[in-house]
Amino acid sequence: MILVCGEALVDLFIEPSDGPVMPARAVAGGSPFNVAIGLARLGAPAAFFGGLSSDVFGRRLADMLEREGVDLGYAVRSDRLTTLSVVSTDADGSPAYAFHGEGKADRMIGADALPAELPDAVTAIALGSYTIAVDPVGPALLALARRERGRRVVSLDPNIRPTVTPDLAAWRRRFDAFLDCAAIVKAS
């Protein structure tokens, strides 16, 4: 089993409009959320460790993961809201991102929420994306990676988001700490 750790969120795509109504499309997302579903669709046993809200978005995200066969036994349920990633396009069609995630369910996992012990069936841990860079979840995931390195394959997908972590020096220090634990790094 691969334990995928990180965020599940909603991407809110704002459609161009000149009027007061801003048409939008809400899409389930977050790279760890997508990785867990992708693994399950490929027939690999997958579990998700991340914060899931009890709000309407969080319930939909959890339902989608369960329908795809992702084990939610490690998910941390919360009354905190789901992170929204608002995506719009500027005049030349380039996407612009705004994350509304401060204090949300995916970010508020501390070290006390880590599984005390992982079963032998968990052979790999996939860590990502922006949750590795924000507190308190980032240090919690780092503690998990440090605890499990050498016992399981640890992969890392940092997927930097400057609008989430504008202090690039702090992000680099955190990334370096995770890099020490990773056997596989996916970076673009």
Query: Parallel, antiparallel, or unpaired: how do β-strands 84-89 and 9-14 relate?
Result: parallel
Question: Which residues pair with residue 184 across a beta bridge?
Answer: 155
Structural contact between residues 50 and 131, judged by C-beta atoms closer than 8 angstroms: yes
Read off the pLDDT of residues 78-129 as tens digits, 9 standing for 90 and up: 999 999 999 988 778 888 888 899 999 999 999 999 998 999 999 999 998 8
Instruction: Count Cβ atoms below 10 Å from residue 7 Cβ, excluding itself.
Output: 30
Query: Parallel, antiparallel, or unpaired: how do β-strands 84-89 and 95-100 relate?
Result: antiparallel
d(CA 147, CA 3): 14
Say if pTM beats, i.e. exceeds, 0.85: yes
The series of mean pLDDT values per 10 residues for the chain, 188 residues long, is 97 88 92 97 98 98 98 97 91 84 94 94 95 93 97 92 77 90 90
Structural contact between residues 60 and 67, judged by C-beta atoms closer than 8 angstroms: no
